[in-house]
Amino acid sequence: FGNRPSDGPYCPLAREVTFSGQHVAAVVAETFEQAVAAAALVKVWYDEMPAIVDLSDGKAGDGIPIDAMTKEWGDAQAAFAEAPVRICAAYNTQREFQAAMEPHGLIARWQGDELTIWEPSQWLDGMARTYAEWFGVPFENVRLVSPYIGGGFGSKALALAHSAVAAAAARMLGRPVKLMLNRPQNFTSYGGRAATRQTVAIGADGEGRIQSIVHRGVNETAVDGMWVEPLGSVTSIMYATPNFSSKQNVVRVNTVVPGAKRAPGENPSAFGIECAIDELAYELGLDPLEIRLRNYAEQDPEAKKAWSTRQLREAFATGADAFGWAKRSREPRSMRDGHQLIGWGVAAGTYPVRRAYGEAVVRLSADGSAEVESSSIDMGQGTYTILAQTAAETLGVPVGKVSVKLGDSRLARAGVTGGSRLAGVMTGAVYKAAGQALDELIGLALSDPRSPFHGLQANTLVVNDGRVASPRGDGPELSIAELMGMLGREKIEARGDTVPASFTREQRYNNYTTIATALPHTEGDYSRHSWCAHFVEVRVDEDFGTVRVSRVVSALDSGRLYNPKLAESQWKGGIIMGIGQALLEEGIVDRRHGRIVNGNFADYMLPTNADIPDIQTISVGIPDPHSSALGGKGVGELAIVGIAPAIANAVFHATGKRVRDLPITLEKLI
């Protein structure tokens, strides 16, 4: 999980061009305007070579089998052939881009052999390791600073080619260098979500109980790099089946190496299986919600382990009730409002809990305030808030007395902010550090002769609202500041981490700078996932074929919510991104030259306020102690999983036309 090839030096400026938009030269000047003007004067001559521009290219072929993605049990092919009811269809998802409002860019400064980088980053320690390897300096000599991020969605987790160019230029000149990618370069300088092709075949008995699932998937990758989008990740666990087969290939095309975009793997995987089971429901004459409940998986079908918690049945029931699903007319094209066809659709989603380790410092000061420090980051999900809340609750102080410092690789270490793991990891680390600081304070209060609590027995003091007292209300009561003054302490500091005590120094280093030590979602006795059920209403103009999402109700199981308001914001953001995927967004390639023709915010169709309806989110989760120290599960990536198939299923219910190729645009319905 890095950028530097193992067999030679890293060259951020291409010697052999493999895709349109690849960096080949850089110009450094005193001002941004000078640099832009000078870069426009650079002339490059290319030798034209044959290219494969996308998966539909006739030269693409079947691709490379990825054996690690193969999942099989039973005899899926034979069971499918013998099943009384069968459906088989192909489902395609488009090339998408993260399209964060804040573009990529950085400032690089060298002081001797020490490098400081100011750059929006989802992974300070991982990127610091990459810079250290690029330039042959010790890891400790690289500092990344990133206190806030204006959106990333997976694109800002790695140090990229343009970052190396800026740092190399700064070293050559002995001066700080600033580099900002313009908007078109943000569509070609790093990878978005890969285009995918899936075939899903489901065989069922006459009652609608699944007997077999056969899944085949393909995703695009680059000529000079490898990206695998795990297309069987949802297919293999969502529904119970005695027979299953999933295989996947990747096809090399002339594109930048694809990358992570919100819920990589689970997002396209859910589109395939959730559309397919909807088609099976219509084939059987069953309600689409009923067929999902009839094939509910009581345990992980793949890992054969119990779920840690799975509130999906509750999500179906709660969401259906809030949406009014019982009023749905079964037949397609049977609901309308004037010239508008109305369709209702449902789909489920899931995202795994991949646990990792982190550390935090919590500091109590003489004035009774507290400070939390961590190299983790905030890109809109509310890290500052939830870590302050965790420390305040643990220490027994008002949340307004807690400050949080993030986004500096010199602070306590943290792993990658991705895979919906940050909150679960870092609240556990802060909880531990704050608990240690509180224990030290109470220990001093009981043991120091200067304390009015001296001589009391252990476990006889509590801290609430920043005041220390006996739980029975008898005896003295002091503020933390007053007690710290009596103890003569300027601060009490504790470092807490969730790293196993058996880890060596090298393992700890790898924990924060690679993904090698992350725990899979099936580690131990349980299979850990967040779950959701989406209910969607669409309105389709019968004359013009335009599709509008008019209502969304989603019930979600993310375990304990550390901050319900922030969770709601994250869920709604995922749903909005899913609406864009279903109806609007697509990277369009000029097949003559392999260029992205809509690499800007005018032509790459992102959802706006006018495209977004009322969205209702409902939490059905319960605390899951097997998933994190404080019982939470992933929030940020869950809600985008399943929203696109829910919309596609609603469009079919409205129109009677099954669109299996995203985005669902006008010409596909007329």
User: What residues are annotated to the active site?
Assistant: 637
Nearest to 191 by CA among 211, 167, 220, 218: 220
Burial of 614 (0-12, 13-18, 19+ CB in 10 A): exposed
Question: For strand 526-527 and strand 529-541, is the pairing parallel, antiparallel, or unpaired?
Answer: unpaired
Rounded Cα–Cα distance for residues 208 and 290 (Å): 9
Contacts with 584 (C-beta within 8 Å, 6 or more apart), sequence order: 605, 606, 607, 611, 663
First to last CA, the chain: 44
Residue 110 and residue 177: Cα distance in Å, rounded?
Answer: 10
Angle at 592 between CA 587 and CA 595, to 5 degrees: 35
Token pair 């005899």 is at which residue?
A: 75
CA angle 29, 33, 38 (to 5 degrees): 60
Distance of CA 432 to the CA centre of its chain: 25
Residue 445 · residue 453 · CB < 8 Å: yes
Q: Which two tokens stand for residue 406?
A: 């993030």
Residue 54, beta-bridge partner list: none
Q: What are phi and psi of 210, to 5 degrees?
A: -70, 130
Question: Which stretches of 165-243 are assigned E, i.e. beta strand?
Answer: 177-180, 196-204, 210-222
Residues in the chain: 670
Residues 6+ apart with CB under 8 A from 324: none
Cβ pair 499, 512 in contact under 8 A: no
**Structure tokens belonging to residue 626:** 């097997």
Q: Of 526, 501, 521, 522, whose CA–CA distance to 511 is shortest?
A: 501
Q: Give me the amino acid identity at 70.
A: T
Q: How many CB atoms lie within 10 A of CB 368?
A: 19
493 contacts 467 by C-beta, under 8 angstroms: no
Interstrand relation of 114-118 and 340-352 (parallel, antiparallel or unpaired): unpaired
Q: Which of 571, 563, 569 is nearest to 531 (CA)?
A: 571
Single-letter amino acid code for the residue at 241: T
Residues 6+ apart with CB under 8 A from 579: 549, 607, 611, 612, 643, 647
Q: Are strands 306-307 and 526-527 parallel, antiparallel or unpaired?
A: parallel
Q: Which stretch of DSSP H or E encloses residue 32? A: helix 32-41
Is residue 379 classed as helix, strand or coil in its secondary structure?
coil
> b vs e for 413-430, b when ≥16 Cβ sit within 10 Å of the residue's Cβ?
bbbbbbbbbbbbbbbbbb
DSSP 222-280: ETT------TTTTTTTSB--S-EEEEEEEEEESSPPP---SSTTHHHHHHHHHHHHHHH
- C-alpha–C-alpha distance, residues 347 and 364, integer Å: 47
* Residue 433 near residue 492 (C-beta atoms within 8 A): no
Residue 609: strand, helix, or coil: helix
Cβ atoms of 128 and 635 closer than 8 Å = no
